[in-house]
Structure 1
Amino acid sequence: MNIHSTKSELPAEQREELLSVLKVRFEKNRSRHKEFEWADVQAKLEANAGKLWSLNEMERTGGEPDVVGYDKNSDEYIFYDCSAESPKGRRSLCYDPEALESRKEYKPADSAVKMAEAMGVELLTEAQYKELQQLGEFDKKTSSWIITPTDIRKLGGAIFCDRRYNTVFTYHNGAESYYAARGFRGSLRI
């Protein structure tokens, strides 16, 4: 059981505050979602209390979540963390629980995969990360773990991305590594 399943609803005051923050961000960044209307997004959010809790976790940890797409087949809005740099409240993490367990000393507080699961979100894929970079310039000073293919993970590695020299790069590291400037970005479908 994860934290998400035990705290699925925000108190009314906190819910209203979050909706207000999301609305301001939505209006300020219209270029990310020109074809959507806030009233439609808000209606979807209000009908999904558990997902609103996850969005609040994204916000609380510095992710600045915003609408980046809509899936017509599933009738879901897609939110990504849109903070300029990897969210501050989600840095200094190794990749997954197995990597955390393998560290013998100087263990980080958590892993990106475990923290994302507890928040009720998913790490971005490489394709999603590149889509995000089409909407702005992100991770110019930080980097973000992304979902690592099983073949790479089985060999002890994990991958991350960043933006340098006006180019999006994908790199590798040992999954147990962690750095003060590396976190993760989440995605959430509502």
Structure 2
Amino acid sequence: MKTATKPPEVRLQAPRRHKRSIGWALIGLLLAVGGGIAAAVTVFEAGERTSVLAVTQALPAGHLVQLADLRSIEIASGPELHTIPVRQARKVINQPLALPLAAGALLTSEALGTGTYPPAGEAVIAVGVKRTLFPPAVTSGSRVSVVLVNGEGKEDVAQALVTAVVPGTESAQEITVQLQLPEHDATAVAAAAMTGEVSLAVLPKGGGN
């Protein structure tokens, strides 16, 4: 007779507890641009608090959530946030993300599922950027301007949302960047990548036309 094995205990990084209320704190999520999950939420530390799930690193849409992707964070309870309690961590393991998440973002019910990504009218493409033309500040969730660099100078081609960065090996000369942008701009960026070198310029938060 086989003895049922007990499933491994789910342990997440515990949140730091504050000795006194500081009034309020801002929890930054990836700004909502072009289908990314995001909001800037003001969280009041006074009152009842609860431990919920957040992600430890930037994760692309379609990623299957793993235990190592999760951490625990304490926030003031509020049904409008649609957060997921730490006690339900086991239920989200191996579930796909419907949207990309920035490092530190709260994991919400809307972020899980197969969903439609990219959204209608948008496209996701991958371009190779030389390490010498790749700004270190670019991460998943960055808004960037895609610049064509050729013998005639530099030309801004489009603006895009970075949904993933694949650095590759240290010896690789290019870094692969996954971009989400309007379909017509995706065609222009793909064409630019074939005719010259592509560079990225980081836009300020809320930047763009």
Q: TM-score, normalised by structure 1?
A: 0.28
The one of the two structures with greater contact order (alpha-carbon pairs below 8 A, sep at least 6) is: 1
- Which structure carries more strand by proportion? 2
Give the number of the structure whose alpha-carbon radius of gyration is greater. 2
More helix by share: 1
